[in-house]
Amino acid sequence: GAVVSQHPSWVICKSGTSVKIECRSLDFQATTMFWYRQFPKQSLMLMATSNEGSKATYEQGVEKDKFLINHASLTLSTLTVTSAHPEDSSFYICSFGSGYEQYFGPGTRLTVT
Amino acid sequence: AQTVTQSQPEMSVQEAETVTLSCTYDTSENNYYLFWYKQPPSRQMILVIRQEAYKQQNATENRFSVNFQKAAKSFSLKISDSQLGDTAMYFCAFMKHVTGANSKLTFGKGITLSVRP
């Protein structure tokens, strides 16, 4: 199957700072990226959908100015959490979409202190 | 809008036994896909099985099979010969078919499955 990497796998940052999460596909190209957020023992919540070269479409209730998504190429997307607060602490998962397939990254655990 | 319901938060099964995980969904779409994903403690999402709504035959992948009842909007997962490595959270998910585009997944709340030795 397709391989997707996320970096970093775990990050701790101080409140008020920004943190960037990188999602990269290693062996395929896809035009559509999805970013999810997951709290412990809960389901994945879709945050936004982005197509390469276009602005991301955010789900209702997700602040687009806080969660900046850049989909620069068919193999790379980044999520930047700006001015992070403790309530932003969560597990963030990316996936590349290709038809009915979605290839998930291993996730990034963000802890904001 | 689509909804996916997994009403059982937790289940437990003895190793080598069979267990069925329930899922119902609601949609007005006629062309769609249904999935079961596994999320082990590593938290990597793993596709278990996929069902195309236009196919009447239930999908099967080794020890995993589904019971797809389109009229009832039910999509259950049966795990046969349960193994310790099956211990994970399982998510039922729905995807609308969109020609020429990549559609998003709608997930259920998930069920935590524990396999007892």
For A2-44, write each residue's pLDDT tens digit. Answer: 899 999 999 999 999 999 999 999 988 888 999 999 999 999 9
What is the dihedral sign for C-alpha A85, A87, A93, A94? negative
> Which of B33, B47, B108 shows the shortest C-beta gap to A43?
B108
- CA pair distance A14, A30, nearest whole angstrom: 33
pLDDT of residue A64: 93
pLDDT of residue B94: 97
Nearest to B53 by CA among B32, B75, B72: B32
Cβ atoms within 10 Å of A89's Cβ, excluding its own = 16
Contact between B51 and B23 under an 8 Å Cβ cutoff? The reply is: no
| pLDDT tens string A51-106 | 888 889 999 999 999 999 998 888 999 999 999 999 999 999 999 988 888 999 99
A49 Cβ neighbours under 8 A, 6+ residues apart: A32, A33, A34, A56, A57, B104
Mean pLDDT by 10 residues, chain B (117 residues): 94 98 96 97 96 95 97 97 98 90 90 97
Distances in whole angstroms, Cα of residue A5 to Cα of each of A20, B15, B18: 14, 33, 34
pLDDT of residue A6: 97
Q: SS3 of B70, please?
A: coil
User: Which chain A residue shows the shortest CA-CA distance from B91?
Assistant: A43
The pair of three-digit structure tokens given for residue B45, joined into one six-digit string:
């999402």
Cβ atoms within 10 Å of B103's Cβ, excluding its own = 20
- CA pair distance A67, A80, nearest whole angstrom: 6
Strand A108-112 relative to strand A10-13: parallel, antiparallel, unpaired?
Answer: parallel
The pair of three-digit structure tokens given for residue B47, joined into one six-digit string:
């596709």
pLDDT of residue A53: 80
pLDDT of residue A17: 97
Q: Does B95 touch chain A (CB under 8 A)?
A: yes
Contact B110 A98 (CB under 8 A): no
Contact A34 B105 (CB under 8 A): yes
